[in-house]
Structure formats: structure tokens, C-alpha cells
Structure 1
Amino acid sequence: MLASLPITAHAQCGGASWYALHSKTASGERMNPAAMTAAHRNLPFGTRVKVVNRNNGRSVTVRINDRGPFVRGRILDLSKAAAERLGFLRAGHTPVCLEVVG
């Protein structure tokens, strides 16, 4: 398992997983599995981050709208659509790096 690295210069590497809720996110939005969104422990809501799957090089930009993940070694929980674009939907988790882009 990859260890989570601290955020430095708006970049971070660690594990990511995907999730789908049938309720509201911590920001108050209803969870939309088809949206390009993610949960992060402490980045402000609305922050846009570029996420790169370290296994296959695919990338996607998502907006932070929830809190989490709450699993050791993971730095991001992504929406189902974002996980699909990154190519790890079936695996459930993957190593990623993220960079704040806005």
C-alpha cells in the first residue's frame, strides 16, 4: 500500500478509491456519481484538482465537494465517473498523484 504524502506545493500522491452515495456530500450537494467530483480530507470545497492514475497515466480534473477518504493510505475518494475515466472502476482503488489547478 502506498503511504500518503503531505501536501506540498499543491501536489500529493497516495491511494484513491471511488464511491457513490445516495445522500448529500459534506458540502451540502447531492452526490452525483456521473459528475467529476471527489472527496479530500482538507482541501477547500470547490478546489479543482488534476488527478493522474500512476498505473496507466490517465488523468482527469475533478472538483472537491466532500470530505474523506477515511481509509489509511488513501488521499482521495472519486466519483464513479471519474474512476471510470481513470480506468480503475473494476479494481476499486489505484495509486494516484493530484495537483491543485484551481
Structure 2
Amino acid sequence: MTTRTDNASDTAVELHADVETYYDNGTWHTRRCDSAEPFASGASRVRLIAIGVEVARWNGLRHIIRDTDGNIVEVNRYVTGPYPSRSPVTRERIGR
């Protein structure tokens, strides 16, 4: 598994196969953190977060949400199972 460490000074969240929603060049993107290419892109932040949540839920991953400046603002962890919960198991809001 590829692992890299986030460079944000206010947190030490390790990024690996988690799902990340971020803003780049005027567009919102969602990708797996172990991939440079997003699997979804668009103008709507809410829509891209919803896509990231679904992927994280079904794969039992964390969903990392960044603001337009690239800072991590929320980290939600999901678990797998026959009927994954719609709510995260843990939620961490950063910088609020």
C-alpha cells in the first residue's frame, strides 16, 4: 500500500487508500489517496462529497474533506459490513 503524509502543518493525517475530496483549478475532485487521478470531478462541492462518502462507505475507508485552500477540514471513517451505516463511525472536524 502506498502511503504519504499530508503536508498540512495543523494535522498529521496519514493518507493511503482513503478517499479525498479536494478543490483544484476551479473544480472539485474526489479520488483515492493512493492515486493521482480523480475518479470524479465537477463544480458542485456537495455532489463530490456525496460521491466520496459512498465510495468510502462501501470500501470501509476514511473520507478526507479539504477546503478550497487545501486544508483538511473533516475526516470521517466508515466500516464495511453487509449493510454499511450511512453515518460515519468517527467524525473529526479540524480547525472549527
The TM-score normalised by the length of structure 2 is: 0.27
Structure with larger Rg: 2
The TM-score normalised by the length of structure 1 is: 0.26
Larger RCO of the pair (alpha carbons < 8 Å, separation 6+): 1
